[in-house]
Amino acid sequence: MICGYTGLLIYATYAQCDPLETKLAKRNDQLLPLLVMETLGSYPGLPGVFVAGVFSAALSSLSTGLNSLSAVVLEDFVKTFRSQPLTEGQTAFVMRSVVVVFGIVFVALVLVVEKLGAVLQLTITLSSVANGPLLGIFTAGVMLPWVNSKGALLGGFSSLVVMAWMCVSAQRELVTGNLVYQRKPYSTIGCNYTFAGEPRNFASLPLDGAFSHEASSGPFQLYRISYLYFTLFGALLTIVVALVTSLLLRETDLDAVDARLLTPFVRRWLERRRHKQSQIPSRTPDGLGLKHKATQETAT
């Protein structure tokens, strides 16, 4: 909510004077710092508080991620391939070493990330590789009682491979300039400072999709999907593959599914189905439609 409100505030502030068009800001990532400096720059100390808050949030997220990575490496890799248990000192040494190694890798990646486009767009694109399959598996688990473990595994793996190929390829097309995401209409008619170029009252990129080249020379169709839909696309792919695979295998017994693990409306449907089946009399070998126990009592 805060991010959405901040975006609306930035758009409303610069609706009549786009800083990207006037070259006051070179990238989308610079719009929020520009807004802060123009709004709070005249108040001593407030820009510093903003910078301190940004660094605090970034370091907090980074430290949490490094601690989680060190714990995962220790539990899933080091302890798995070691026959004898680690001492307390060895455990601390391994975790600290992992934190140092990953910290160096993260710092080195800064030099690469700045060449790959906007930070927010890159973060959403890369995170959707894992978020899409995770969302799909969770959704299928709570809403589709037919999905079994084999279907979920195949669906998640298929989506992971497809999303990795799709996101990396789309990012490559974006870096090379073959793919350009369309911007909202902008204006420079309200600027009160001098900049190169003529003021524009209303302008936008060509309305022919998310790229600026002809369809014949443009990128592959899947690459043109907005990065904001990558997670949804991965989730839908996971659900479809998992459901189709589970139905083809026919290994799921709905009577054995724990209804408490399903979402409420699916749980109610499953309980009604079981209730109806419990009221249907079982068939006996003679085809009379009577329960075996009732047949024995009648014969007696």
What is the per-residue pLDDT across 10-44, written as a single tens digit (0 to 9) for each?
888 888 888 888 888 888 888 888 988 888 888 88
Region 65-86: what's the mean pLDDT?
Answer: 88
Lowest mean pLDDT among 53-57, 72-76, 94-98, 217-221: 217-221
Percent of the chain with pLDDT over 90: 24
Cα-based angle 240, 156, 223 (whole degrees, multiple of 5): 75
* 209 has pLDDT over 60: no
Region 161-174: what's the mean pLDDT?
Answer: 89
CA dihedral 227, 228, 234, 235 (to 10 degrees): 180
163 band by pLDDT with thresholds 50, 70 and 90: very high
Inside any domain, residue 156: no
Higher pLDDT, 200 or 279: 279
Model pTM? Answer: 0.69
Inside any domain, residue 208: no
Inside any domain, residue 103: yes
Q: Report the C-alpha gap between 202 and 204 in whole angstroms.
A: 7
* 182 has pLDDT over 80: no
Inside any domain, residue 198: no
Coil, helix or strand at residue 116: coil
Inside any domain, residue 207: no
Candidates 41, 27, 33; CA nearest to 10 is: 33
Inside any domain, residue 89: yes
- Helix axes 230-249 and 149-176, enclosed angle (nearest 10): 150
Mean pLDDT for the chain overall? 81
Inside any domain, residue 185: no
Region 68-86: what's the mean pLDDT?
Answer: 88
What is the pLDDT, as a whole number, of residue 267?
87
Region 107-131: what's the mean pLDDT?
Answer: 82
* 206 has pLDDT over 70: no
Write out the residue range of the structural domain in which residue 91 sits. Answer: 28-116
Inside any domain, residue 290: no
What is the pLDDT, as a whole number, of residue 17?
86
Region 264-270: what's the mean pLDDT?
Answer: 87
Number of domains in the chain: 1
Q: Are 21 and 200 in contact (CB under 8 A)?
A: yes
